[in-house]
A and B are shown apart, each in its own frame.
Chain A
């Protein structure tokens, strides 16, 4: 191959690399892990930091085993997926949420934090673009490597897999669903306790139609307490599955 052809190829490679990198905007939270995580989770897709993605969380974690977070992306249209991750957690991804046509793009949950970290909600809209909101949380840490509390209390022996919940009517035909599943949600990072967590949770209406789907990961807090906003008038069925293929079922009536 001629030298000029090599040069052209090299130039092309540089351009490809440059354009791929140009799509990752500078991080307003100045996280050391930002570029790496952005490449890993968003790849070639467009990413913007967007104030319409609202993330509510504490300034500092009072309980590293259970940090409350609420994501609200209702200001965005056509939300397909919400990915929540904590940059500096040993396992960054906390959950993926796919609200259906009858679910609002908002949810609440708790997670385990290992150290001070940015927490982000990435919201994918119909055009494939990711919209990001986030904030730092300060933490004394240790949430991911501490054995779950129920291990010592006997809670799971008697109540494993139990689902409790409640529905509240809200404005504009929306119902707030809050539910809790008794599950250890072991991260696998505490000595001698293998990973064991809920990895799928589906919400269905009374007719069995899918309202929303949530994919859970290790950092979700023990006995997950989840909040959803649904455009659904009646009963909500809950179908969950964990990493040992236990099938958990419940339903919440208005």
Chain B
């Protein structure tokens, strides 16, 4: 049966070719049994097929624990084929979906018979908006999305320590990037899969963000004695720089938008706002700042209009 994974991988890539996208996923080993698939530091495009995300897995004697299934059915299938071909267990034990953004969960069809876990608010959000997010990703990346349908994780995840196949994982239930953001910490290797609570060298995205809650979540992650941190987007790090950069950017974003609202700046006028030197080299700095202004400014500017009356 050793040839089965190889056969699966071959099948998956043939299917991908027929449908038009090969992701060339290649897991990087971070520690014994811990791997990451590093995505492009780009926006969604036809060329990257939606692979702008970091996913990964932790191998256990019961099978691999997959962290995020990627951006499409094809991504999930190719990810699963790679895991089956490279893990000692050659099985999949379960999948954790960190949050309800399309690049993180739309590969879940490839794990149809595998238990899939997510925080309750993440499950609710995928159930409600998954189809719309999937449709929009079709529009942005095209053929790589062939056959993709949103699947809601079938089991609830919660804060705490879980033992799977001789491996202790800590689940951290945060929020702020979205309504619910799961981080997974592997005790044995000291690897923290931070999900999109942490971005590095790639500008943070905010379509469902609550910055004060996000900053609180970063404080919790910082207290974890990790040796390796896998951000949701951007390169893997060993030190505190990724959390520090995410926090620095979010604080700057918040205060910049608040100050503009106090001055009566109109939202599109923000698009011309100069970015500080230290953020200019982050991937997608300008376009993500513009998007964030659209997401976060409307609530701030309405506050400045309170207390005036009509008659």
Contact = CB atoms under 8 A, between A and B. Distances in A.
Interface of A: 56-60, 62-63, 66, 68-70, 108, 140, 161-168, 170, 176, 178-180, 225, 227, 238, 248-253
Contact of A140 (B139, B291, B305): B139
Nearest to B206: A62
A63 B291 CA distance: 10
Given A68-B267, A178-B305, 15 more contacts: A62-B291, A66-B298, A68-B268, A69-B268, A108-B266, A108-B269, A161-B310, A163-B310, A164-B306, A166-B264, A170-B264, A178-B304, A180-B302, A250-B310, A252-B308
B305 A180 contact: yes
Given A68-B268, A164-B306, A166-B308, A178 B301 contact: yes
Contact of B266 (A70, A161, A166, A167): A70
Contact of A68 (B135, B266, B304, B305): B266
B311 A178 contact: no
Interface in B65-86: none
A178 B264 contact: yes
A232 to B, nearest CB: 15
A251 B268 contact: no
Residues of B contacting A: mostly: helix
Contacts of A70: 266-269
A170 B264 CA distance: 10
Contacts of B216: none
18 contacts: A56-B271, A57-B268, A59-B290, A62-B291, A62-B294, A68-B266, A70-B267, A164-B310, A165-B305, A165-B308, A166-B304, A167-B264, A170-B264, A178-B266, A178-B304, A178-B305, A180-B305, A225-B302
Interface of B: 135-136, 139, 207, 263-264, 266-269, 271-272, 287, 290-291, 294-295, 298, 301-302, 304-311
Contacts of B305: 164-166, 178-180
Closest 6 CB pairs of A and B: A168-B264, A108-B266, A56-B268, A250-B310, A70-B268, A163-B310
A66 B301 CA distance: 14
Nearest to B207: A62
Contacts of A163: 308-310
Contacts of B306: 164
Contacts of A250: 308-311
Contacts of A253: 308
Given A163-B310, A176-B264, A227-B266, A58 B271 contact: yes
B52 to A, nearest CB: 15
Contacts of A66: 298
Nearest to B297: A68
B268 A58 contact: yes
Nearest to A237: B311
Nearest to B292: A62
Contacts of B295: 62
A249 B266 contact: no
A250 B310 CA distance: 4
A249 B268 contact: no
Contacts of A179: 305
Contacts of A165: 305, 308
Nearest to B306: A164
A225 B301 contact: yes
Contacts of A176: 264
A68 B294 contact: yes
Given A57-B268, A58-B291, A108-B268, A248 B308 contact: no
Nearest to A180: B305
A59 B287 contact: yes
A64 to B, nearest CB: 11
Contacts of A248: 310
B263 A168 contact: yes
Nearest to B295: A62
Contacts of A59: 287, 290
Contacts of B268: 56-58, 68-70, 108
Contacts of A108: 266-269
A68 B264 CA distance: 14
A98 B310 CA distance: 23
A207 B80 CA distance: 73
Given A59-B290, A66-B298, A164 B309 contact: yes
Contacts of B287: 59
Contacts of B310: 161-164, 238, 248-251
A28 B110 CA distance: 45
Nearest to A226: B266
A88 to B, nearest CB: 15
Nearest to B305: A164
A62 B306 CA distance: 25
A238 B291 CA distance: 31
Contacts of A249: 310-311
B270 to A, nearest CB: 9
